[in-house]
Amino acid sequence: MDTNRSSDLDKEPNRQHEEDLDSLLVEQFEKAILRNAGGLERFKKEIPLLLRKAIDEVIDSARTNRVTLGETKINERIYLGTKIRAQLRNRLKLAKGKMLDLHLGGPEVGIQSTIRQSWSIPPGLVGNPCLLVKSDEKRATCSVGVTVIRDPVLKAAGKSSRRRMISDAGVSNVRWILKDEPLPDASS
């Protein structure tokens, strides 16, 4: 008797149930964000400005003569992610979680930001909802979306880090609140 086949069949309903719960959680999370932001139009107006300001403060052109994030060091780009998390939490008037970035009354939520093509996910975010923020300075766009981080949407961990990148399939599962919205000019 093939017991592997039976256990695989048993996993399918569980996986579908998990996906349904994730979809509901993402929808509730998106509604909470937009409610706290004052609606979608206000979110679309204010969040790109918040991101631009955070980027400009890290570049610090007046004191460094730099004009792009590409001229910054890795520790400054890490700080940018920290700055974005704190500013989003404050702007959305959401409490800080005990373990993750946000507490909405249900599960805690992480915030991950990137200036690259994908997000680097620490092991502690797997199984949790996450607000994904992307700032693309070259294209002058930004995106913000919500998802639940699950193992199947993550690539294998690198040798030097336990962090994993979100796969293309994982990115396609993100529920975008903002997608490729214009990022204001540095002079804004």
C-alpha 25, offset from chain centre: 15
Domains of the chain (ranges; CATH) run 3-182 (3.40.600.10)
- pLDDT band at residue 11, thresholds of 50, 70 and 90? low
| Residue 170, both tokens | 């994982």
**pLDDT tens digits for 50-63?**
999 999 999 999 99
Mean predicted confidence (pLDDT) in 135-160: 91
**pLDDT tens digits for 64-87?**
999 988 899 999 999 999 999 999
**Run of H or E residues at 88:** helix 74-91
Q: Please report the DSSP string for 9-76 in residue order.
A: HHHHHHHHHHHHHHHHHHHHHHHHHHHHHTSHHHHHHHHHHHHHHHHHHHH-HHHH---SGGGS-HHH
**pLDDT tens digits for 12-54?**
667 677 788 899 999 999 999 999 999 999 999 999 999 999 9
102-103 β-sheet, strand order: 102-103, 108-114, 129-136, 141-148, 175-182
**pLDDT tens digits for 83-140?**
999 999 999 999 999 999 998 878 899 999 999 889 999 999 999 999 999 999 999 9
pTM above 0.95, yes or no: no
Query: What number of residues does the chain have?
Result: 188
**The predicted structure's pLDDT at residue 18:** 75
**The predicted structure's pLDDT at residue 17:** 74
Q: Can you tell me the distance from the alpha carbon of 181 to that of 142, in angstroms, rounded to the nearest whole number?
A: 5
